[in-house]
Amino acid sequence: MAEFVTGTTRGGAAWTPKFVESVDQKMCIGCGRCFKVCGRDVLELIGITEDGDIVDAFDDEAEKKVMSVKNAGNCIGCESCGKVCSKNCITHLPQAA
């Protein structure tokens, strides 16, 4: 059985954080809710061109705007981004101890 990094809540309960693993960009609508709740600079809005190339979100070539994992190492495992995602496109996983 795998063991995961765990912590303790202020009330003393055991807690296993689940860290951002990926964003399903086919499902993402680029609404920005996840970005707004994360104060750790984990996510960023990117643009996708008609050919599937990644560009700046505000580039004229961007056909679609979606979220991307920018700094996964900054994630603290709170899962707030996933809780506000209306499309359920963010994957979180616990980290092995």
**What pLDDT, in 10s, does the model give residues 30-67?**
999 999 999 999 999 999 999 999 999 999 999 999 99
How confident is the model at residue 2, as a pLDDT?
74
DSSP state of 35: H
The predicted model gives 13-22 an average pLDDT of 97
Instruction: Give the CATH fold of the 22-89 domain.
Output: Alpha-Beta Plaits (3.30.70)
Question: Distance between CA 61 and CA 81 in Å, rounded?
Answer: 27
Give the pLDDT score at 76: 96
pTM: 0.88
What is the structure's pLDDT at 97?
87
Tell me what the mean pLDDT of segment 81-92 comes to: 98
Residue 69: pLDDT over 90? yes
Structure tokens at 84: 């506000």
pLDDT value at residue 1: 67
Which residue type, as a one-letter code, is found at position 57?
A
